[in-house]
Structure 1
Amino acid sequence: MITKNKKALCIMSGGMDSTLSAYMMKKIGYDIIAVHFNYAQRTQDKELSCFHAICDELGVLNRYVIDLDFFAQIGASALTDENIAVPTGGLEEGVPVTYVPFRNGIFLSIAAAIAEKEGAEAISIGVVEEDSSGYPDCRESYIKSMEQSINLGTKDETKIEIFMPLVHLKKSQIVQKAVELNTPLHLTWSCYKDEDKACGVCDSCRLRLNGFKLAGVKDPIEYQ
């Protein structure tokens, strides 16, 4: 049973998965603090505008927007390096070029600092293990190890649980759950490439579209 005024820091990208995770945290009684990361990704401006629109809908007043420009310097990902093309030919074998090196580890580390400062008992992250693009930092075992490290590296009185409510769901189940919770799917963005209309052919768009198709629900965003 969640007591009143327990706080959860929700990592929110503006995408469908992290948005649903935040709605699920609110449903079980947490007050939501939101954090968003600008990390020089191709659709940075669109994701930021989606984040704020979703927070408005969710009634989140306490928001953090963190700029991480070093990801562009590192490169090595199609999301942050303009010299690497975003794949559009279907899901790749192994870890795809859209993987951003240790992104979720960095996000969780910063989220832990904010959570400790805010006195939050929980962090939520919308990782999906089974139906994701094959990113190593979306695995349940990895997130659990980060939870342990965070609690070892913070004050003794700081006890933070990392929630990953979608980790074992398929995309179609995520769509169904989002509809059930009246999540504003029309405000979410998944495309890796474009900010005006979603491309429909990158890995993320393909996963999203297939999830809606299998769920028997129409995707409310525009595609090219």
Structure 2
Amino acid sequence: MNKKAICILSGGMDSTLASYMAKKDGYEIIAVHFNYGQRTENRELKAFRDICDDLKILEKYEIDIPFFTQIGASALTDKNIDIPTNGIEAGVPITYVPFRNGIFLSITAAIAEKEGATAMYIGVVQEDSSGYPDCTDDFINKMKKAINQGTKEDTHIDIVTPLVHLSKAQIVEEAIRLNVPLEHTWSCYKEEEFACGVCDSCRLRLNGFKVANQIDPIPYKGL
């Protein structure tokens, strides 16, 4: 019987690499994607589907979470709040979506228990992220403990974070080493046709490619 892993796959570079690493680790992958009212929801969904095709994933879940737009409080889900384009902010940026990864992990845990999966892969990055509190080792470890406490006794789920201590440049290098189709990934917070190149996510991604001495294959405005 194949061992199963649930991969939280946004369609971004980090979650895509994490999914390829799960495959390399010998797991049968079940992919989960969340439509939560983010500005680039349609483009991220396309990326997710393209990557599932690349990985030949047969079973996938596309989960709608409409309440994030109801509560607002994040530039990703509230179009009345501008996406910052002046460089990385100090502290927790306005693009932070309240407890997003906690909610994603909770829903994914329910799917993992139903599917009999023993691992959940999530592409959180602590050291080179935008300063989100739900991307840290400590948070993930506490979520893992809570999930295993709150599921059936014979359910044992490991939360695997293979990128958590990598820089963006290291992520680019590892993705290229594993032949990850980075041209199918999408990271921009603002735009769906051409990446803006100036939001936090684009800046981190472009800098990662620059430090790794590689060229980003996705289209950018003005580039």
Q: Normalising by structure 2, report the TM-score.
A: 0.99
Aligned to 2:14: 17
Q: CA separation in 2, counterparts of 1:16 and 1:31? A: 20
1:24-35 pair list within 5 angstroms = 24-35=21-32
SS of structure 1 residue aligned to 2:83: coil
Q: Return 5+ residue gaps in structure 1 as ranges.
A: none
Q: Return 5+ residue gaps in structure 2 as ranges.
A: none
SS of structure 1 residue aligned to 2:138: helix
Aligned to 2:175: 178
Aligned to 2:140: 143
What is the alpha-carbon root mean square deviation over aligned residues? 0.5
Q: Following TM superposition, by how much is the alpha carbon of 1:28 offset from its aligned partner in structure 2, in angstroms?
A: 1.1
Aligned to 2:192: 195
1:20-169 pair list within 5 angstroms = 20-169=17-166
1:207-218 pair list within 5 angstroms = 207-218=204-215
Q: CA separation in 2, counterparts of 1:191 and 1:31? A: 29
Identity %: 68
Q: Following TM superposition, by how much is the alpha carbon of 1:52 offset from its aligned partner in structure 2, in angstroms?
A: 0.3
Q: CA separation in 2, counterparts of 1:28 and 1:126? A: 15
Q: Counterpart of 1:167 in structure 2: which amino acid?
A: V
Q: Counterpart of 2:78 in structure 1: which amino acid?
A: D
Q: Counterpart of 2:165 in structure 1: which amino acid?
A: H
Q: CA separation in 1, counterparts of 2:35 and 2:102? A: 15
Q: CA separation in 2, counterparts of 1:175 and 1:68? A: 30
Q: CA separation in 1, counterparts of 2:125 and 2:53? A: 25
SS of structure 1 residue aligned to 2:33: strand
Equivalent residues, number: 221
Q: CA separation in 2, counterparts of 1:17 and 1:88? A: 21
SS of structure 1 residue aligned to 2:151: coil
Runs (4 or more) in structure 1 with deviation over 4 Å come to none
SS of structure 2 residue aligned to 1:114: helix
Aligned to 2:219: 222
Q: CA separation in 2, counterparts of 1:144 and 1:187? A: 30
Q: Following TM superposition, by how much is the alpha carbon of 1:114 offset from its aligned partner in structure 2, in angstroms?
A: 0.2
SS of structure 2 residue aligned to 1:150: helix
Q: Following TM superposition, by how much is the alpha carbon of 1:64 offset from its aligned partner in structure 2, in angstroms?
A: 0.1
Q: CA separation in 1, counterparts of 2:171 and 2:164? A: 10
Q: Counterpart of 2:14 in structure 1: which amino acid?
A: D
